Structure 1
């Protein structure tokens, strides 16, 4: 959408906002710098980078309030589960809303007049039209230009390729539990330092986040980044046959993931208004509740 706006296909936007969780792959930050340098700046479109902190550091800080990630849980009785997903709201939606209020001149808790609002563009394509929703606040009115254009994900890829941006990386946290095996392999095989980082994080959150542990609310089961519910360094991220995966899931009593999703990850992208994953609240326990 930024490129389409900068090149006059869509109207010129006032701002583009990037919500930074603090734990994106370096390739994403490098690409953002390139977009700013080659696309946004020449068109006079400021890219605003907003943040609520570093999600990785916050999870490991016993003194920090932490909004939980959707981790895979292995309960003491062997049953599988998942923790609730609060990270999108805390690390993406909240800082964007805070910045929009600032741009409008009505920072929280100042009341915004009914006739003051922004038109917010959300990059959902026709493949994900079912995820196109109105905003939950009156001062933001969502619009979905890609759907208005009738563009699918493939159309977006073709356009990016035509303007020299074929290598656009996916934006998501390095340690997002919704990664597919292909994404985990890409990190392991192409970014050794980032792989070491996510493996260390996976081990560090085995008994829950640091604040919960410090307050005596240690997770009774075990938490994992990979859906196989084994340590990431040992997880079956190389090719797994359908029969092998089915056998593994039968042992866990969980047949909710198909092999295609295991390999590619959840189809929907990870963005503030289209976060990957089926449901906004998949809690099975009290791990990581924000207080």
Structure 2
């Protein structure tokens, strides 16, 4: 099989994908035609600051960083006129049922815009069919300790590759490499209001980014009874949504960071969100917790 004529990096701007970009920029692995960052519009300020640093570093080596977006996830979730791409919110049913909403946000706000950009660069924008044999290589930052997250692409025009697996690198190897080249403070990439934040991460957000913390608290209150569109249509959730697993308002949670926990949980990259899609939630049509998606 011949090598693809197009090589891209899926850049989440977290530890692993930043390492892959740095490896390419320094010539330690082959370079990429572009690094593609899917912007949800709601990353912490530290991630955007780090992304600007990566853009400068990549530009110096002739590798562009391209920002793509499918919208602003926070604004869209609170817009009554916008379809709600479900986030993995913690749910509490009317009779105390505990569940989670299905996760659609990664697909809608990260994977989809990257595929749109790849198709555009290949010269076959949707709905044009990509001819057989036209393939773009997509490098994904998965390290050896997360090998279970590596998977094949779900479209024929992309072939996933894993440079860190080829090197046999673990997350600690990535951190050491970043530190050696002045990027040891690389943050975890995940939305401000990501329900998968650990207590340690919520504490850091509250301490280091008070505006982001206030934003998350306000969002947590705003989504309590479901999406704005469903509520406007007279279909409020028969239950409640929460950002924190304790299922109480975020600003009332007693945060208890684990002393033995890793400094960061795995980041939320386009193809590397480590959390399951199969979850349950109370639906507008039923007071019971079910496995069906609430369709807004």
The two structures share one fold, judged by TM-score above 0.5 = yes
Unpaired segments ≥5 residues, structure 2: 1-19, 285-292
In structure 1, what is the equivalent of residue 42 of structure 2?
Answer: 23
Structure 1 residue 289: Cα displacement:
4.0
| Partner residue of 1:138 out of 156, 166, 171 | 156
Distance 1:148 1:184, change over 3 A: same
**Contact preservation (8 Å) 1:14, 1:45:** yes
| Deviations 1:66-108 (CA, angstroms, capped at 9, x unpaired) | 2010000111101211110000000000000000000000000
Equivalent in the alignment of 1:253: none
Indicate the residue corresponding to 2:64 in structure 1.
46
What is the count of residue pairs matched by the alignment?
269
5+ residue gaps in structure 1? 241-258
Kept in 2: contact 1:4–1:10 (CA 8 A): yes
Structure 1 stretches of at least 4 aligned residues deviating more than 6 Å after TM superposition: none
Please name the residue that 2:268 is paired with: 270
One of 273, 277, 282 as aligned partner of 1:280: 277
Change (3 A) 1:161 1:290: farther
Secondary structure of the equivalent of 1:2? helix
What are the superposed Cα offsets for residues 36-91 of structure 1, whole Å, 9 maximum, x if unpaired? 11x10110001010111111001100000120100001111012111100000000
What do the CA deviations read for 1:204-236 (whole angstroms, capped 9, x no partner)?
A: 000011011111221111110000000000012
* Bigger strand fraction: 2
Tell me, in whole angstroms, the C-alpha distance in 1 between the residues paired with 2:142 and 2:211.
Answer: 32
Instruction: Return the alpha-carbon distance in structure 2 between the equivalents of residues 9 and 266 of structure 1.
Output: 26
How far did residue 265 of structure 1 move? 9.3
Which residue in the other structure is 1:204 paired with? 222
Confirm or deny: 8 A CA contact 1:183 1:264 kept in the other structure. Answer: no
Asked whether the equivalents of residues 182 and 264 of structure 1 are also in contact (C-alpha less than 8 Å), the reply is no
Q: TM-score normalized by structure 2?
A: 0.87
CA-based RMSD: 1.7
